[in-house]
Amino acid sequence: MSLQISIRQSDDVTILDLRGRSTIDGGESELLDSHLQKLIARGARKLLLNLADLTQVDSSGLGIIVGTCASLRRQGGDLRVLRPKGLVLEVFKVVRLLEAIPSFEDEAQALASFQSRGHAASSS
């Protein structure tokens, strides 16, 4: 399945529900990048990527997640991830991504973490 992205809002946190894969193959990672850049251009600074239905990620997807997170932090915002699993979680573990980007299993907890000072401890 190629990438499908749904966007919803919870207070000042923008949640992106990702379904499918974020790889270079069919331009899926490019699509994700385009959505993220548009959101940031419109003022979004707190992004939560819901990865529960993301089945694959490769280096292109990783680069976009890392680049977006770094960009947001420079602007006083942050990016966090929700429920990575399967191959996606394996890839994150291989590159130790979860040491740099907080990950949560519970959406309410993830949303609350944006309101607390500093980074909440990863719950993964």
Partner 1 sequence: MNAPCSSTAPAQLKTALVVASGTDIDELLTSVLGSDGWSTHHAVDNQHALELATTEPFDLIVTGRKMLGPDDVEILRRIRSARAHVRLIILTDRFTPGDVIAAMREGAFSYFSAPFDASELAEMVRVAMASPCWDDGIEVLSATPAWVRLAARCDISTADRLVQFLRGVRDPDIPEGIIFAFREVLLNAMEYGGNFDPSQHVEISFIRARRAVACRVKDPGHGFSLEELRHAAINRPADDLLGHVAVREAQGLRPGGFGLLLAKKLVDEIIYSEQGNEVLLVKYVDPPISQVA
Residues contributing to the site for partner 1 (CB under 8 A): 1-2, 24-26, 55, 58-59, 62-64, 66-67, 69-71, 73-74, 87, 91, 94-97, 99-100
Amino acid at 42: R
Q: Determine phi and psi for 22, rounding to 5 degrees.
A: -115, 85
Q: At closest approach, how far in Å is the CB of 70 from partner 1?
A: 4
Helix (H) or strand (E) holding 72: helix 59-74
Q: Per-residue b/e over 69-103, b at no fewer than 16 CB within 10 Å? A: beebeeeebbbbbbbbeeebbebbeeeebeeebbb
Q: At closest approach, how far in Å is the CB of 101 from partner 1?
A: 8
Q: At closest approach, how far in Å is the CB of 98 from partner 1?
A: 10
Closest CB to partner 1 among residues 30, 107: 30
CB distance 46 to 88 below 8 Å: no
Q: At closest approach, how far in Å is the CB of 9 from partner 1?
A: 26
Closest CB to partner 1 among residues 35, 73: 73
Closest CB to partner 1 among residues 43, 86: 86
Distant-in-sequence, close-in-space partners of 74: CB < 8 Å, separation ≥ 6:
none
Closest CB to partner 1 among residues 7, 95: 95
